[in-house]
A = this chain, B = another copy of it.
Amino acid sequence: MIILKLGGSIITEKDAKIPTINDKNLARISKEIKSALNHLDHTNDYNNGLIIVHGAGSFGHPFASEYQIGKPFKIEEDFEKKKIGFSLTQSWVKKLNTVICDALREEGIPVVSIQPSSFVITKNKRIISANLDIIEKYLENGFIPVIYGDVVLDREETIKMAVVSGDQLINYLAKHLKPERVILGTDVDGVFNKNPKKHPDAKIITEVTSLDDLESMDSTTNIDVTGGMIGKIKELIELAEIGIESEIINAEKESFVEKALCGEIVLGTTIKM
């Protein structure tokens, strides 16, 4: 089984002020996934299965940020506002998921939408309860589950609600479902030793085996500015520790997603022990 992440920066215009799909990327990547599934001889076989996880991009971040989902609050009035913010964020990320599922299905892929807020609960922003039986059952039947970054209830009373990122979902899904491979389609070529926008001599790090590999870098690298590359790698290093390798690739580059799904080596960063 393969878990494929489509980053919010790939499928949406991440810096747009209102939720905006990146139609061109979505159409191209949908075709690439279909083509890879044909190649992989995807059948009703759990081991040949594929799970797609997508981020929220401009459909989630502006709302989660405006309503400070996951931040502590003190008074009941704030909670009432936050609940409306939760509802609004949930609605927009669901709309994004619908657009993505529709694009994939139009290519003939039997996708099934999976809504985290219907079955996931966190404590201090980490998933503590999520029954994955149904996802396994969809895989056994040859469906392609499409799950996404969402807002969920949190058991910590000071925050009561949290954002579950696509990256945390990948970590949780991979730990429990043990995929053979994890592929993260992002808008960068991988992890660099320096910020490639500032330093023409920046080099891609093709293999990360511990967080130490990153700590030696200066703080102006792309690690922070691309929004949570460190967080992403932390999730992936936990997987490497239990023997699950992952690759960060640039999904904006034509055919990279397709090739990576088919097992071809493309430029990128591998996280492994």
Which residues does A use to contact B, with CB under 8 Å?
44, 76, 79-80, 83-84, 86-88, 90-91, 94-95, 98, 101-102, 105, 108, 110-119, 121, 131, 133-134, 137-138, 141-143, 153, 160
Interface contact A119-B117, CB-CB below 8 Å: no
Please name all residues of chain B whose beta carbon is closer than 8 Å to the beta carbon of A108 when the two chains form the complex.
84
Please name all residues of chain B whose beta carbon is closer than 8 Å to the beta carbon of A111 when the two chains form the complex.
87
Chain B min CB distance to A121 (Å): 6
Chain B min CB distance to A105 (Å): 5
Complex CA gap A143/B85 in Å reads 12
Interface contact B131-A110, CB-CB below 8 Å: no
Chain B min CB distance to A145 (Å): 9
Complex CA gap A134/B121 in Å reads 8
Please name all residues of chain B whose beta carbon is closer than 8 Å to the beta carbon of A84 when the two chains form the complex.
105, 108, 110
Please name all residues of chain B whose beta carbon is closer than 8 Å to the beta carbon of A87 when the two chains form the complex.
101, 105, 110-112, 143
Interface contact A94-B94, CB-CB below 8 Å: yes
Complex CA gap A110/B160 in Å reads 14
Complex CA gap A262/B37 in Å reads 54
Q: In the complex, which residue of chain B has the Cβ closest to the Cβ of A115?
A: B115
Complex CA gap A115/B84 in Å reads 19
Complex CA gap A98/B19 in Å reads 15
Complex CA gap A95/B138 in Å reads 21
Interface contact A101-B105, CB-CB below 8 Å: no
Interface contact A115-B113, CB-CB below 8 Å: yes
Complex CA gap A44/B114 in Å reads 27
Please name all residues of chain B whose beta carbon is closer than 8 Å to the beta carbon of A83 when the two chains form the complex.
110, 141-143
The answer to whether A88 and B105 touch (CB under 8 A), given A153-B137, A153-B138, is: yes
Complex CA gap A116/B98 in Å reads 15
Q: In the complex, which residue of chain B has the Cβ closest to the Cβ of A140?
A: B153
Q: In the complex, which residue of chain B has the Cβ closest to the Cβ of A152?
A: B134
Interface contact A90-B110, CB-CB below 8 Å: no
Please name all residues of chain B whose beta carbon is closer than 8 Å to the beta carbon of A79 when the two chains form the complex.
44, 142
